[in-house]
């Protein structure tokens, strides 16, 4: 198998590109006797998702809700405590499936910090040629690929190939990071706050480029961001997380046009108004997100939810399909015992 050719589509357009089932990651909390407190951060708890071929799946949620942990689990930078993954029909890291190395070739990641992710001692050309060379591409072909990659991300190869990271602006460095993610011709790119550190005028350039690359190369994106407007702009479907759990998942139209979960609603109406004559009068919810070390029992949002009732503290709401979207809230589960729920 030539590791440098684009991977063939295997299961056809209807087969999800990536399926994750019951992913869990708990981090031990240092401290206490012998440096082990016995407590854990429940960063990601039994999370399942699927990514369709050619779509952009947006992931939103507040700081610490587990977005980056999900990303790192999906490319196996960290090992899940539990859960399985399937890439275009092939189980990952299982006897009859594909290896983690193969997963990491087909799924690439771009991080927020454009500087830290580039080796300061390598020129841009050396950085971009590194992985293709390691996969056995001859030097002359690697040079051609570097030129092609720089062209693709809008950097003139003549001008940029020989530069070092510190000789680039933040926007240019992020273009290089994207070029590097493309170097092995992946199918899925996970963008974790990839435009968040950029100035707005530069962010717009990079967003336009991401849209173009996706069409040109037939890519699939997972786009993680705390910027709800940018997620709305790019995504086909959106996943909303709160304290390690999915609270709502649906089409971008459903999530932004008709949000069902009280947290999604709060998050959307917490966006600053762009209309000076209609400024926000009241914050949609009070207080800070609770500590993920000891998340609230039952529904993790209950400590800030204006609709919380007894059942919310006792029973964890399942992620239930409501038609246009899936929602984890007792108000949407018939017969849950919540006064606003339909009769069973």
Ligand X SMILES: Nc1ncnc2c1ncn2[C@@H]1O[C@H](COP(=O)(O)OP(=O)(O)OP(=O)(O)O)[C@@H](O)[C@H]1O
Binding site for another protein (CB under 8 A): 62-63, 169-172, 199-205, 207-208, 211, 226-230, 232-233, 252, 256, 266-267, 270-277, 279-280, 282-289, 304
Per the CB < 8 A criterion, the answer to whether 168 and 176 are in contact is yes
Nearer to ligand X, 66 or 132 (CB): 66
| Binding residue (CB under 6 A) for ligand X from 80, 154, 259, 292 | 292
Compute the radius of gyration of the chain from its Cα atoms: 22
Q: Which residue stretch of 185-193, 204-212, 225-233, 303-311 sits at the interface with ligand SF4 (rule: CB under 6 A)?
A: 303-311
Q: Print the SS3 string covering 66-90.
A: CHHHHHHHHCCCCCCCEEEEEECCE
- Please give the C-alpha separations between residue 254 and each of 34, 54, 87, 299, in angstroms, as whole numbers: 49, 19, 27, 22
d(CA 184, CA 181): 7
For ligand SF4, the binding residue among 305, 319, 326, 341 (CB under 6 A) is 305
Residue 190 contacts which entry, Mg ion, ligand SF4, ligand X, none (Cβ below 5-8 A, type-dependent): none
Out of ligand SF4, ligand X, another protein, none, what residue 43 binds, judged by CB under 5 to 8 A for its kind, is: ligand X
Determine, following the binding rule CB under 6 A, whether residue 341 of this chain makes contact with ligand SF4: no
Query: In this structure, what token pair is assigned to residue 207?
Result: 């967003």
Residue 266 to residue 139: CA distance in whole angstroms: 53
Q: Which is nearer to ligand SF4, 86 or 329 (CB)?
A: 329
**Using CA atoms, how far apart are residues 263 and 249, in angstroms rounded to an integer?**
12
Does residue 254 belong to the site contacting ligand SF4 (CB under 6 A)? no
Q: Are 118 and 175 within 8 A, CB to CB?
A: no
Residue 69 lies near ligand X (rule: CB under 6 A) = yes
154 touches ligand X (CB under 6 A): no
Q: What's the Cα-to-Cα distance from 208 to each of 8, 153, 175, 270, rounded to whole Å?
A: 26, 10, 12, 26
> Which of another protein, ligand SF4, Mg ion, none lies near 299, with the C-beta cut-off 5 to 8 A by kind?
ligand SF4
Cβ atoms 252, 238 nearer than 8 A: yes
Residues 6+ apart with CB under 8 A from 3: 105, 135, 136, 184
Q: Is 112 or 336 the residue whose CB approaches ligand X more closely?
A: 112
Q: Is 329 in the site for ligand X (CB under 6 A)?
A: no
Q: Which helix (H) or strand (E) holds 34?
A: none
**Is residue 68 a contact point for Mg ion (CB under 5 A)?**
yes
262 near ligand SF4, rule: CB under 6 A: yes
Beta bridge partner(s), residue 237: 57, 251
What's the min distance (Å) between Cβ of 3 and ligand X? 30
Of the candidates 43, 85, 266, 308, which one interacts with ligand SF4 according to CB under 6 A?
308
Interacting residue with ligand X among 19, 23, 60, 66 (CB under 6 A): 66
Rounded Cα gap, residues 286 and 253, in angstroms: 27
Site residues (CB under 5 A) for Mg ion?
Answer: 67-68
Site residues (CB under 6 A) for ligand X?
Answer: 27, 41, 43, 61, 63-69, 226, 292
Site residues (CB under 6 A) for ligand SF4?
Answer: 262, 299, 301-302, 305, 307-308, 312, 317, 329-331
């Amino acid at each position: 198998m030539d590791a440098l050719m684009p991977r063939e589509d295997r299961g056809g357009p209807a087969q999800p590109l990536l399926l994750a089932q019951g992913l869990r990651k708990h981090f031990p909390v240092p401290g206490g006797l012998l440096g082990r407190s016995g407590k854990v951060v429940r960063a990601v708890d039994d999370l399942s998702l699927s990514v369709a071929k050619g779509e952009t799946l947006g992931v939103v949620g507040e700081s610490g809700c587990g977005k980056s942990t999900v990303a790192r689990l999906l490319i196996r930078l960290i090992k899940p405590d539990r859960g399985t993954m399937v890439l275009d029909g092939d189980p990952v890291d299982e006897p009859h499936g594909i290896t983690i190395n193969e997963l990491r070739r087909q799924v690439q990641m771009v991080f927020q910090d454009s500087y830290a992710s580039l080796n300061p001692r390598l020129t841009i050309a050396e950085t971009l040629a590194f992985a293709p060379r390691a996969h056995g591409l001859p030097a002359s072909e690697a040079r051609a690929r570097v030129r092609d990659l720089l062209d693709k991300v809008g950097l003139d190869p003549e001008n940029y190939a020989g530069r070092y990271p510190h000789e680039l602006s933040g926007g240019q460095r992020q273009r290089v990071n994207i070029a590097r993610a493309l170097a092995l011709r992946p199918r899925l790119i996970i963008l974790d706050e990839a435009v968040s550190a950029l100035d707005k005028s530069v962010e717009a350039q990079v967003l336009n480029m991401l849209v173009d690359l996706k069409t040109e190369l037939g890519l699939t994106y997972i786009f993680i961001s705390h910027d709800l407007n940018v997620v709305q702009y790019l995504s086909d479907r959106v996943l909303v997380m709160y304290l390690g759990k999915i609270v709502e998942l649906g089409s971008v139209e459903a999530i932004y046009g008709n949000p069902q979960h009280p947290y999604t609603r709060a998050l959307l109406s917490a966006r600053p108004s762009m209309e000076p004559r209609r400024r926000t009068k009241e914050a949609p919810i009070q207080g800070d997100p609770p500590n993920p070390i000891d998340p609230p029992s039952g529904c993790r949002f209950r400590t800030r939810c204006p609709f919380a009732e007894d059942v919310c503290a006792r029973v964890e709401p399942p992620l239930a399909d409501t038609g246009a979207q899936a929602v984890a809230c007792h108000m949407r589960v018939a017969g849950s015992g919540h006064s606003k729920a339909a009769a069973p």
